[in-house]
Amino acid sequence: MATPTLDNLRRYAIARTLFKPTTLPRAIQRLGFVQADPIRAPARAQDLTLRHRVKDYRAGDLERRYTRLAVEEDCLVNYGFLPREHLTLMHPRESARVWDAETRRKAEDVLAFVREHGAVHPRDVELHFAHGRVQNYWGGQSNATTHLLDGMHYRGMLRVARRESGTRVYEAVMHAPADDSLAGRAQRAGALVDLVVRKYAPLPAASLTYLVRLLGYGAPHLSPQTQTALQHAREQLASCRIDGTTWYWPAEENPASRRHAPDESVRLLAPFDPVVWDRRRFELLWGWAYKFEAYTPAPKRQYGYYALPLLWHDRVIGWANVAAGEGRLQPSFGYVDRKPRDAAFRAALDDELHRLAQFLAPR
């Protein structure tokens, strides 16, 4: 295998995840994980990600079809949707924030309530238990019941049965017995590392370590099993060194293959699309630092509230903020250097905006 160049890695990163559109179950299976975000600008991140990879996808299709799909809402390296089969690799698990005895008691009481009543809305739990308020991560006050349900979901005690007007409706879940031996834990850790590598490859060495640390669920130190899985991955993955950075990818794949030639399309990508998610990799591949600024004060924003990176051929050349008011798209664009002036780009951009309008149209 020829040693890949940075151009090879750039094209490979695009081609391996922007595959030919397929069915919704197959796209989720191939992606392995789809990050979720509640902001709609002009649609939620999971929908913006899936529209490039699913035939005739419309905004909201994942939520509408969720109960009929073998997928779960859960947290991998962050929150999103993943094939149900991956849950056996993730649960049971503990959080870096250890519950005290009182919180564990409350969780057991809520779990008994959910088992008795079936799928429950958080308001039903709150009406029954009235847990009050707690201090949240940002120092403000949050509903204690919502906070407890989130923790139970994270630990695998509950699953999301469906959503009602965007709110998670929970039901109790029993996971298959897990091999809790050192060998069993090592096997699961290795499979999880393989899962995230296949989603985000090619990966700079620092990003590989960062992703594996996220799989440790926020713990300050990697478990021995996860440390071993990381070391094994470094030994088994293919790699090369370019301009002082070591890159990793699955050993059976060839980043230098001519099959990774870019197409003629323009694509507006979600801020958490696999092409975009790893900001370290993004800057190394495309030479500029993309920032997600929805939570940045407006006067300090460089790109906008919900900037969608603009991919053309094998280059991310700028970004767009898109509103969808009054029945039509209202896009505004920014470019890293200057806007391409040729007719091919204008036609490809018009096609992408047409696809985006169709995606946002109601079923």
The pLDDT tens digits for 79-90 are: 999 999 999 888
Reading the block at residue 150, the tokens are 């989130």
**Cα separation values, 128 from 117, 145, 185, Å:** 12, 10, 38
pTM reported for the whole predicted model:
0.92
Quick one: what percent of the chain has pLDDT higher than 90? 75
Reading the block at residue 10, the tokens are 């750039």
Domains and CATH numbers, the chain: 101-172 (1.10.10)
Query: Which residues are CB-neighbours of 344 under 8 A, at least 6 positions away?
Result: 264
pLDDT surpassing 80 at residue 213 = yes
| Bond into 92 cis (ω within 30) | yes
Contact 285, 306 (CB under 8 A): no
Q: What is the average pLDDT across 19-27?
A: 97
Q: What is the pLDDT of residue 220?
A: 47
pLDDT surpassing 70 at residue 135 = no
| Residue 242, beta-bridge partner list | 245
> Which of these ranges, 35-39, 95-99, 310-314, has the smallest mean pLDDT?
95-99
Average pLDDT, the chain: 91
User: Helices (DSSP H) in 237-311: which residue ranges?
Assistant: 279-286
∠ CA 286-288-289 to the nearest 5 degrees? 120
3-state SS, residue 266: strand
Query: Which residues are CB-neighbours of 58 under 8 A, at least 6 positions away?
Result: 358, 359, 360, 361, 362, 363
pLDDT surpassing 80 at residue 132 = no
Q: How far is CA 318 from the centre of its chain?
A: 22
> Which of these ranges, 4-18, 38-52, 130-144, 248-262, has the smallest mean pLDDT?
130-144
Q: What is the average pLDDT across 86-110?
A: 89
Q: What is the pLDDT of residue 178?
A: 77
